[in-house]
Amino acid sequence: MQYSIYFTLVIISFLASLTAYFQRDAPRYLKLFPVFLLLTIVVEIITTWLTLHGKSAFILYNFFNPMEFLFYMYVVRENIRSPRAKKIIFYTGWLFVLVAVVNFLFIQKITAFSSFAYALGCLLIAVICIYYFFELFQSTTSVNLVRQPAFWICAGLIFFYACSFPVYALLNFLKEAPTLIKKNFGVILLLLNVLLYSSFTIAFLCRLRVRNSTS
């Protein structure tokens, strides 16, 4: 049930993201979002098939998760003004990929979920989003946040990754946890995903202008 809700949210977000192709002057990162979300859907379909056939999906997730974090870093970087901060994010992204590769090859192994790399990615995304909001609230020009896609995207990202960071950081210690605790964590992650993809959907639709019809 929880997975069905999550998968439905991703599909709705993907369909909403397609509106970027019909919006005038839509930023490039918005036009890349449909590709990323479509890839997410494909990955989820494959992992579901693997799980139903009794095969591990950790290897696929261990390759996809670094790509996911890199994409989010790119999205936030596109909305940051400071050239120095952009450069730091660029090199941090590649350093993260190196750490992730070393982790699943030599530390946690590729056949197990790379919870360390995932927790590190959560921390990086949260920090980068905090810097985005720092720049945003330091701006001397008035900005309509309701119609700013980056605001909604970063709001969803910072809440999701700041809250899921401790969950995935403790993942290795929950293998022997009672079933009730695991179910509670599943509910928490579902609620976080609801917020994340709802924020994405709002980000894609907030630039649309509705024309009022007059009789």
Q: What is the pLDDT along the chain (215 residues), one digit of tens a residue?
A: 677 888 899 999 999 999 999 888 889 999 999 999 999 999 999 998 988 888 877 888 888 989 999 999 999 999 999 999 999 999 999 999 999 888 877 787 766 777 788 888 999 999 999 999 999 988 877 778 888 999 999 999 999 998 887 776 665 566 565 666 666 677 888 899 999 999 999 999 988 865 444 44
- Running DSSP on this structure, what letter comes out for residue 170? T
Distances 85 to 78, 91, 172 between C-alpha atoms, Å:
11, 10, 33
Rounded CA-CA distance 14/200 in Å is 9
Q: Inter-axis angle of helices 28-52 and 58-77, to 10 degrees?
A: 170
Residue type, position 203, single letter: A
